[in-house]
Amino acid sequence: MAASPKGGSCSPHGAQKRPRSDEEESAAERSVSGFEVIRILRESAREKNIFVQGKLDDQDAVIILEKTPITQDILTRMLKNSTQKLEASNDIYSTYQLEPPPDLNAIKSTLICPATEKHVLKYLRQETFLLEETEQDYQSITLPYIKSQSFSVQWVYNILEKKAEAERIVFEDPDPQIGFILLPDFKWDQQQLDNLYLIAIVHPRDIKSLRDLTADHLPLLRNIQNKGLDIIRQRYGIPASKLRVMLHYQPSYYHLHVHFISLEYEAPGCGVERAHLLSDVIQNLQDQPEYYRKHTLTFPIRADDALLKHFQEAGRV
């Protein structure tokens, strides 16, 4: 199914068309053809993607290349218009190498440039462990670490201030307390609905993660749940029963955001060790206003993550 909008009721709210900023212009003009490969950080034949560290214009860079799913709407054109080479045939069985026309053969690519050491580590395949973080651990180990180390959330502020991706906004509720912006996640190329992936980024800037949430945030969370689901149903025709609406703990970026993912798509980070369904979060906070402040939270951590070292030094693992 193609990801064309259904109905017109969720046109960008407050997202005016505007000239591109200098940053966007330079990103748009940067060509990946000058990317010099240094090493493969991770690759998966099953997921058909590759994560590569390299240099672009003398800057450290990471590029992620991914073959996109073959969907019903392009199937007929693909079969009809591809050049085909017979590879082998035996009785009723034959295999072909199909070469589809370029527009049906796109590779989704994400470039991070300049990339930090933390980006490189994020994509490097690594052994992971589970950590149990008590309320005290969060205050004495994790919070100081986050304050000193976490990824910059400049890209989030650019979205909230319409300095980037403004034309991609699917919906905005501008309320400073309970408002948010809903837009396609970088992981989604918007070509098909099977891997639909949107994120809701909240307007308040003082909520780092799930850990900060209390019952005071219930109006915000309910607003995201109700409006997010409504808009996705109207625009893409996907009902709530086909969506995984969740938060990550730990997130990579410490500005509260909620992931809306097609149930058909086994996206990275959907496992029980990292994902928290928004509906569970809402219920837990209804039952216990300080649930996420007080409870021990378990999350996966990579062997090379400096936070693990801090837990080790504190004698917690």
Which residues form the interface with ligand M7G (CB under 6 A)? Answer: 155, 165, 183, 185-187, 199, 248, 251-253, 269
Given 119, 217, 255, 257, which residue is catalytic?
Answer: 257
Q: Which residues pair with 138 in a beta bridge?
A: none
Q: Supply the DSSP string of 10-49, one letter for each residue.
A: T--SS----PPPHHHHHHHH--GGGPEEEEEEEEETTTTE
Percentages helix, strand, coil for the chain, rounded to the nearest 5?
A: 35, 30, 40
Beta-carbon-side half-sphere exposure of residue 63 (alpha carbons within 13 Å): 18
Round to the nearest angstrom and report the end-to-end CA distance of the chain.
Answer: 47
**C-beta closer to ligand M7G: residue 74 or 159:** 159
Class of residue 135 by CB neighbours under 10 A (exposed 0-12, middle 13-18, buried 19+): middle
Q: How far is the CB of 210 from ligand M7G (least distance, A)?
A: 10
Nearer to ligand M7G (CB atom), residue 155 or residue 265: 155
Active site residue 257: yes
| CA dist 144 → 21, 135, 203 (Å) | 34, 13, 24
**Smallest gap, in angstroms, from Cβ of residue 263 to ligand M7G?**
16
Which C-beta is closer to ligand M7G: that of 217 or that of 248? 248
- Minimum distance from CB of 76 to ligand M7G (Å)? 31
CB of 246 to ligand M7G, least distance (A): 9
For residues 74 and 281, which CB has a smaller minimum distance to ligand M7G in the complex? 281
Instruction: Name residue 92's amino acid.
Output: I
* Placement of tokens 């979205």 in the chain: 159
Q: Which residues are the active-site residues?
A: 257
